[in-house]
Structure 1
Amino acid sequence: MRLLLLGATGLVGRNALAQALLHPLITQVIAPTRKSLPERDKLINPVALAIQELLPQMRNWKPDAVINATGTTIKKVGSREAFRIVDHDLPLSFAKAAYREGAQNYALVSAIGASLTSRIAYARIKAELERDVQKIGFKSLTIVRPSMIGGEREEFRLGESIFLWLSRVLAPVLPKGFHVNPATVIARVLVEAAVIGVPGVHFRYSDSLTE
């Protein structure tokens, strides 16, 4: 099986990449990035500063399955418009191109609270990607909506660090849906969904993403 992995440099994406490379049924992982990844067996790492420039290569990649673990924040990219490009337009373009080349299984990291009617741009754009990917026609589509994601990030986020600490301290009294979701668990769900490809549309919520 050939797997296309988007977002391989992020917290969930790094974990998904590590697990996918070890999976016996995955023969090749195609992970397009803006900066080169360390060389590893089974890994193909196309590199371009503008990721959309790699779209024509889908004809050569011909993935069987796709994992989309892309994600950023409006604060990081500077505007709502830039956020939409990164978290909606680019993933959707890659999803459509992969489907045209024969991909049947798709696994997507979305977010808790994703809603088309939300007043929060982040939640609304996440929901728009969910909606638009469902229109493509994948045989198997898994949408994962984690709560706060736990793991070692390459960048420090003060607010997130405080929330993670509070979540762990209050875990005994918090509803399971508000527990921290480890990146390793989310990655495992994504890889399994991409490989197994259970037909239909499936949602996985935060209460099923805890250890």
Structure 2
Amino acid sequence: MKLLLLGATGLVGSRTLKLALANDAFSEVIAPTRKPLAPSERLVNLVGSNLEELVPNLMSYQPNAVICALGTTQAKAGSKEAFRHVDYELPIAIGKAAHAAGVETFAIVTAMGASASSMSLYYRTKGEVERDIQEIGFRSLTICKPSLIGGERNEARRAERAALTLLRLLAPILPKRFHINPADVIAASLIDSVLIAKPGCRWIYAEEMN
């Protein structure tokens, strides 16, 4: 199986890349990034600052499945428009291109609390991408909805770090769905979902990824 992995340098994406490259079920892992990744057997790393411009090349590798772990914050992106571009426009555009190229299996990471009617830009955008990715028509679609994600990030997110500390302290009394979801567990769920490729839309909730 050839896997197209989006967001390979992020917290979940980097774990997913590691698992995919270690799994002989994947003959090739196509991972577009802005900066070069460390060379690895079976890794095809297309480098470019504009992901949309790479789409024709990405599809020329004829991937069998796509995992989308793209995600940022408004603070890191620099504006509401830039945040929406990464978290909504890119997944939908690449999803449509992949489907048109014959890809039948797609998995994406969104967030617990995602809702297209949310007052929060973050959760509303996540909800909109959930809604619209279902309209594309993949034979097998998996939507992972984690709570706060545990793991070492390359960039500092102070508010998130404080929330993670609080959740760890409160874990004994909190419902399971509010527990921290380790990035490695989310990555494993994504890998399993594209290998099994169950027909229809499958939702993986936070309480299933602890």
**TM-score, normalised to structure 1's length?**
0.97
Confirm whether residue 71 of structure 1 aligns to residue 71 of structure 2.
Answer: yes
Q: Identity across aligned pairs (percent)?
A: 50
Q: Corresponding residue for 2:188?
A: 188
Q: Corresponding residue for 2:12?
A: 12
Asked if structure 1 preserves the Cα contact closer than 8 Å seen for 2:30 and 2:58, the reply is: no
The separation in 2 between residues aligned to 1:116 and 1:157, in whole angstroms, is 25
Which runs of 5 or more structure 2 residues have no equivalent in the other structure?
none
Range with bigger deviation, 97-106 or 185-194: 97-106
Confirm whether residue 151 of structure 1 aligns to residue 115 of structure 2.
Answer: no
Q: For this pair of structures, how many residues does the alignment match?
A: 210
- The 3-state SS of whatever aligns with 2:141 is strand
The separation in 1 between residues aligned to 2:143 and 2:19, in whole angstroms, is 19
Q: Corresponding residue for 1:205?
A: 205
Note the aligned Cα RMSD (angstroms).
0.9
Alpha-carbon distance, 1:62 to partner = 1.1
Q: Corresponding residue for 1:162?
A: 162
- The 3-state SS of whatever aligns with 1:112 is coil
**TM-score, normalised to structure 2's length?**
0.98
C-alpha deviations, 1:14-65, integer Å up to 9, x for none? 0000001111211100000111000001100000011111011134111100
C-alpha deviations, 1:154-203, integer Å up to 9, x for none? 11111111111111111111110110000000000001101110101011
The separation in 2 between residues aligned to 1:58 and 1:182, in whole angstroms, is 29
Q: Corresponding residue for 2:140?
A: 140
Which runs of 5 or more structure 1 residues have no equivalent in the other structure?
none
Structure 1 stretches of 4+ with a deviation exceeding 3 A read none
The separation in 2 between residues aligned to 1:59 and 1:176, in whole angstroms, is 39
Q: Corresponding residue for 1:179?
A: 179
After TM superposition, the structure 1 = structure 2 runs for residues 109-120 of structure 1, keeping only pairs within 5 Å, are 109-120=109-120
Asked if structure 2 preserves the Cα contact closer than 8 Å seen for 1:110 and 1:144, the reply is: yes
